[in-house]
Structure 1
Amino acid sequence: MTIGGPGDSRPSKNHHRDAVRTKAKRFREEQKKKDRRNRVALRGGLTAVGVAIAAVIVVVIINSIPPVGPGPANMASDGVLISEGMAPVTTSALQPEAKPIPSEPDATGTVADIRVYADYLCTFCSEFEAANSEQISQWVTTGAATVEIHPVSILTHKSSGTKYSLRAANAAACVANYAPENFYDFNAILFQKQPKEGTAGHDDAAIKGLVKDAGVNEGVSKINECIDDTTFKSWVIASTDRALSGPLPNTEVEAITGTPTVLVNGKQYVGALDDPKEFAAFVLQSAGETYSTSTPTPKPAPAE
């Protein structure tokens, strides 16, 4: 009899095969655990990177937004009030969140109180300005009227993305702040050189050129910097919102619903914007009962 025949080797081979299978299974399980750990670590790393990038973006955005500063000087009522001799009434700048201080109409009732809310991209505003600017200037020069001009920007999105309406109103506020005596002329020239609605409008360099054309000599560098930085952007947006939401002071008109909104002694003018005779008649009608014969009286412009 031979000890250790062929049949005795099978248990050994089966045992070896089972051992290999067990080892392979254990290896696969360890590999799966390792893969899971790697995936978790990768996701965690990506999340951390995402959070870091988001934090950087937030910091950049915050740093790029200038803090809300005070409004322009000489516009405490949200407008520039121009009185006898074309002299602007000077006022201090309003601090952020401060409420506008409405200007007081002439207490004697002998001076017409004209208020104009206008957008520098508004074609109808340009028509009114072209027809009536000269005679309004004559009335104010002689003391027969005051005029208060409120720049608003309700057409900001009508200039191919350049926000011309907002930039022009900001420029007007810059001039009011640094060269108020030139405000009326700058206001007029913005309408004389008005771009068409829907176009890009004037760039900042062109607006600076209009500042010079308006006769500004002092404070030009500060005005140019104010235009570049859109210093009064927040104020323009806030004052426009106030005009649209109301109430409008010294009138029963609750708020502007479009531009131009023209008020004379609190009454809204709804006549032809390009007819100076009709507007002059409205001024006389609105203020005639309170006028004294000893004071200057607005006269209709002569026929062309």
Structure 2
Amino acid sequence: MSKGNRGRDRAAARRIVEQQKAAAKRRRVTIWTSVAVVAVLLIAGLIGWGVYASQSKNDAAGVVTPSVAVDDGTAFALGTGPVTIDVYEDFMCPICHQFENAAGDTIAQMVTDKKVTVRYHTVAILDDASNGTKYSTRSAGAAAAAAEGGKFKEYHDALYDNQPEENSDGLSDAKLIELGKGVGLGDDFAKAVTGKTYDAWVGKVTDTFSARGFNGTPTVVVNGKQVTGPNGSVPTADVLTKAVDAAAG
């Protein structure tokens, strides 16, 4: 082999070595860049999870569950009968009022006769129908405060007797307190209303309502089975009675 050829070969070999070194360097840069990106994403994810967990903890900490609430803290029970009626209602809902007028006395009699335990779930799905005052939440929170004061049903009935029109401002807090005084509730009730003690709890009840697959009020459930009238309408007192009798066996 001539000296010229040997020189060219050595030069070619050096170029190959240099190319291999450069490729190895690029691989190292790529690897460390990838590691850095993964680390950043991991840190961001951990920070995000920490924020979420902190917010969830704070939200949970902000929920004051009435001590008298049943069904995982989402309802107020009347009666001790073997058949359970769950009524999901919104105090702004006119059809809920109609159901109460139509079936309320029947339910009360079944409670007296110890045939049923009725559980009232006060949800807030019509907050948008009160011109920004969130009447559904406020009235349900006031009902919870009334339950703590031992006057749930009395206050429940007073709210329906004074039900505002849908898409109105709803009753003021002062009026809610006035209704409470009318059924024998005092300062603790008034403080809970003005302090919105149970408003966050109403959100929990409403979320539970949705999680159970319901989306309209009133929703009536007997021993875990939703009861409706013809074509999915609100059940009448007669339909409800038959459902209770069937559940009782």
- TM-score, normalised by the number of residues in structure 2: 0.69
Of residues 100, 103, 114 in structure 2, which corresponds to 1:129? 100
Who is 1:173 aligned against?
A: 144
Who is 1:282 aligned against?
A: 243
Who is 2:4 aligned against?
A: none
Q: Tell whether 2:187 aligns with 1:216.
A: no
* Change over 3 Å in CA distance of 1:273–1:165 after alignment to 2: same
Who is 1:256 aligned against?
A: 214
Who is 1:243 aligned against?
A: 209
Larger radius of gyration: 1
CA distance in 2, matches of 1:76, 1:278: 26
Offset, 1:212: 2.7
* Change over 3 Å in CA distance of 1:277–1:233 after alignment to 2: same
Who is 1:28 aligned against?
A: none
CA distance in 1, matches of 2:91, 2:76: 15
Q: Tell whether 2:79 aligns with 1:83.
A: yes
Mapping of residues 1-304 of structure 1, within 5 Å: 68-77=62-71, 78-84=74-80, 111-177=82-148, 179-180=149-150, 182-213=151-182, 215-217=183-185, 220-246=186-212, 255-271=213-229, 272-273=233-234, 275-285=236-246, 287-289=247-249
**1:121-177 deviations in Å (ceiling 9; x for gaps):** 111111111111111111111211110000000111110111110100110111112
Q: 5+ unaligned residues in a row in structure 1: which ranges?
A: 1-64, 85-105, 247-254, 290-304
**1:180-222 deviations in Å (ceiling 9; x for gaps):** 2x21121122122111110001001111122133x225xx100
Give the counterpart letter for 1:203 in structure 2: S
* Structure whose residues are more often helix by fraction: 2
CA distance in 2, matches of 1:174, 1:82: 16
Provide the aligned C-alpha RMSD in A. Answer: 1.9
SS of residue paired to 1:114? strand
Contact in 1 for aligned 2:75/2:121 (Cα 8 Å): yes
SS of residue paired to 2:221? strand
Give the counterpart letter for 1:70 in structure 2: V
CA distance in 2, matches of 1:76, 1:288: 21
Offset, 1:76: 4.0
CA distance in 2, matches of 1:288, 1:83: 15
CA distance in 2, matches of 1:129, 1:273: 11
Percent identity, aligned pairs only?
Answer: 32
CA distance in 2, matches of 1:288, 1:174: 33
SS of residue paired to 1:113? strand
CA distance in 2, matches of 1:273, 1:206: 29
CA distance in 1, matches of 2:242, 2:64: 39
Q: 5+ unaligned residues in a row in structure 2: which ranges?
A: 1-58
CA distance in 1, matches of 2:101, 2:192: 27
Contact in 1 for aligned 2:64/2:200 (Cα 8 Å): no
Contact in 1 for aligned 2:84/2:222 (Cα 8 Å): yes
CA distance in 1, matches of 2:172, 2:140: 13
Offset, 1:69: 4.6
Give the counterpart letter for 2:239 in structure 1: E
Greater relative contact order: 1 or 2 (C-alpha under 8 angstroms, separation 6 or more)? 2
Offset, 1:273: 3.3
- TM-score, normalised by the number of residues in structure 1: 0.57
